[in-house]
Amino acid sequence: METRGSSVVDVQRYLIKDERVVWSAQPVRKFFLKYLFSQDPSRFLGYYFIVFGLVFALMPLLVFVSMPPGPPSKGEPPIILFAVFGLFFAGMGYVLSFGRRRRVIKQLGNTAYYLTNARAFIVSGADGPTVTTIDLRRMPQTSLWLVDGNVGNIVFGDADPAIQKGFWRFFDMWGWWGRGDRRRLPGFIAIENAEEIMRRIAQIEDGLR
């Protein structure tokens, strides 16, 4: 398999003596975005805020237009306050949905994966690329989940044995259901030829033992 380079970060400066890069890639856009969106349900909450806010803003205006001319009754709050309140919720929804989407797309551009003859490197971050290194010699478990054809996730660390079993597979195609607020394990997310890369990682791990 040919190595695909990435200009996200110069990983060469992180290599130690006799270490060399044997594979590198960037995630598949479609499935990487799906993965990140699945980790952030507030984005969908933003859509509800937009709809609720616009309805709350427009309904008082429609009532105002249909009202007969004349001075407003004493003690009634100005209709403009309801409109402002609705626009506030709509703006909040925009930030939660479309604002988060721009951030996720930025993270995609900063993400790249590297595999050497001793370690795995994960370069990612919405605010700028940060480098996570995984020593394959000390890795207790490496797990693979296919999400579509030859595209899959390779996760480094102790994976939950209860996930990706039987009926639950329909609710957890990304292999994260049931983890609650526990720290997400590092991994190669949404990579092509995941099974082949998994075999290559296994060969490297066997050679290090």
Q: What is the pLDDT along the chain (209 residues), one digit of tens a residue?
A: 333 444 467 888 889 889 999 999 999 999 998 888 776 666 667 777 888 888 877 877 776 666 666 555 555 556 677 778 788 888 887 777 777 778 888 888 899 999 999 999 999 987 888 899 999 988 888 889 898 889 999 999 865 444 444 444 444 444 444 444 344 668 999 999 999 999 999 999 888 87
CA distance 194 to 146: 7
Q: Half-sphere exposure (CA, 13 Å, Cβ side) for 80?
A: 1
**pTM of structure:** 0.66
177 within 8 A of 171, measured Cβ to Cβ: yes
- For β-strands 119-124 and 130-135, DSSP reports them as antiparallel
The pLDDT of residue 72: 57
Does domain 11-27+111-208 fall under CATH 2.30.29.30? My reply is yes
Q: 1 vs 4, 24, 120, 153, 182, CA distance in Å?
A: 9, 10, 17, 18, 35
Q: How many residues does the chain have?
A: 209
The pLDDT of residue 188: 94
The pLDDT of residue 140: 82
Q: CA 20: distance to chain centroid?
A: 29
Q: Half-sphere exposure (CA, 13 Å, Cβ side) for 104?
A: 22
Torsion of CA 178, 182, 186, 188, to 10 degrees: 20
Of 118, 142, 119, 122, the residue nearest 132 (C-alpha): 122
